[in-house]
Amino acid sequence: MSEEHDYSCRTFRDEDEKEVRRLIKNVFGSFLDGEFWYWKYKLNPNFDPSLVMVAEKDGTIIGCNHWLLKNFKLSPSLETKAILGADVAVRPDYRGKGVGKSLLHSLRSSEVMVNEQPSITYIFANPSLVKHFHAPAGGYIAAPDVTVLYFKILNWRKLEDSIRVLNEQIAAGRFKERLSKFELKILLKISNAPQLCLHMTEKGITVEKNFENLDVTIVSDLDNFQKLRSAKKRRSNMFTAILTRKLKVKARPGKLFALYRNMWLFEEILSRKIT
């Protein structure tokens, strides 16, 4: 409880819902009114009443702060607990008196926060509030005002999709004149990417998990592979890379020529988006 302003902060209770909705409506207007409040909070699968804090004075709610506990996926195999700091609302006649700060600090020391110990706390803040509230009161650090794009450099699943499309075209007879009778089992060993084994015949291409009885093994680093697949003269650049040892190729007798003759199949696959 604040001795100076005589208000206290406590966890949201079901009977607070009507007052909280009214306060949210008064502060934010119709944007968060009615059904939207239910959708964003009450019916949200991440909604936890113990992560909603209210400030109360003489039995009247003068402020509230909503937080949502989420599973934050950093990568396909790495997930952590995170808190999304949502709406902070304080009655106009109590602003500038530390209510918002008290709500924030109460949530930070709440039982859920102590038990769950989330690794990340983040918000989508109003820029005008960052300097005098979110940063000094909550310790938030403003992120650059740009969109950051995260992507995988190689995604074999997309390459498999390209192979599926190519096989459909082969089955339909589109490349009949270009296909000769051949069989190649090729292993791609690209740094920082899973190994990929392609079994190529005139009937199509399959992805295999068996790395035995290989005809060709291609070893390269990620940077060089990206340059090769984005180059216009992919075939000539590939052999230049082989001669300069940027691309290492180990082939059984006679199979290197078969690889050269059917390099256009590689070009068909690699020309499609796989990143």
State the pLDDT at residue 146: 60
203/102 same-domain check: no
The partner residues of 55 in beta bridges, in order of sequence, read 9, 63
Mode of pairing for the β-strands spanning 204-208 and 183-190: unpaired
State the pLDDT at residue 55: 95
User: Over the range 61-74, which residues count as b (16 or more CB within 10 Å of their CB) and which as e?
Assistant: bbbbbbbbbbeeee
Last residue of a domain, one of 83, 109, 138: 138
Reported pTM: 0.49
Domain count across the chain: 2
Last residue of a domain, one of 138, 169, 186: 138
99/179 same-domain check: no
pLDDT (tens place) for every residue of the chain, 275 residues total = 444 568 899 999 999 999 998 888 888 876 665 677 788 888 888 888 899 999 999 999 999 999 998 888 777 777 888 888 888 899 999 988 889 989 988 888 888 887 878 888 888 877 777 777 878 877 787 776 665 554 444 567 777 788 888 899 889 988 888 888 888 999 988 776 778 888 988 898 988 888 889 999 988 877 676 666 666 666 677 777 777 777 788 888 888 888 878 877 777 776 655 54
State the pLDDT at residue 152: 47
Is residue 150, in this structure, part of any structural domain at all?
Answer: no
130/13 same-domain check: yes
Give residue 103's Cα distance to chain centre.
30
Q: Distance between CA atoms of 212 and 197, rounded to whole angstroms?
A: 10
State the pLDDT at residue 15: 93
Write out the DSSP string of the chain.
Answer: -BTTTTBEEEE--GGGHHHHHHHHHHHHGGGG-THHHIIIIIT-TT--GGGEEEEEETTEEEEEEEEEEEEEEEETTEEEEEEEEEEEEE-GGGTTTTHHHHHHHHHHTSHHHHHH--SEEEE---HHHIIIIIHHHH---PPPSSPPP---S--HHHHHHHHHHHHHHHHTTTTTTT--S-EEEEEEEETTS--EEEEEETTEEEEES---S-SEEEEE-HHHHHHHHH-SSHHHHHHHHHHTTSEEEEE-TTHHHHHHHTHHHHHHHHTS---
143, 109 contact by CB (below 8 A): no
Non-local (6+) Cβ contacts of 229 within 8 A are 270, 271, 274
Q: Distance between CA atoms of 236 and 110, rounded to whole angstroms?
A: 64
92/175 same-domain check: no
Name the residue range of residue 199's domain: 156-270
133/173 same-domain check: no
State the pLDDT at residue 272: 59
Is residue 144, in this structure, part of any structural domain at all?
Answer: no
Is residue 181, in this structure, part of any structural domain at all?
Answer: yes
Q: Distance between CA atoms of 82 and 71, rounded to whole angstroms?
A: 6
84/121 same-domain check: yes
Q: Distance between CA atoms of 16 and 53, rounded to whole angstroms?
A: 11
The partner residues of 199 in beta bridges, in order of sequence, read 185, 206
Q: In whole angstroms, how far apart are CA 69 and each of 37, 52, 84, 152?
A: 17, 11, 6, 27
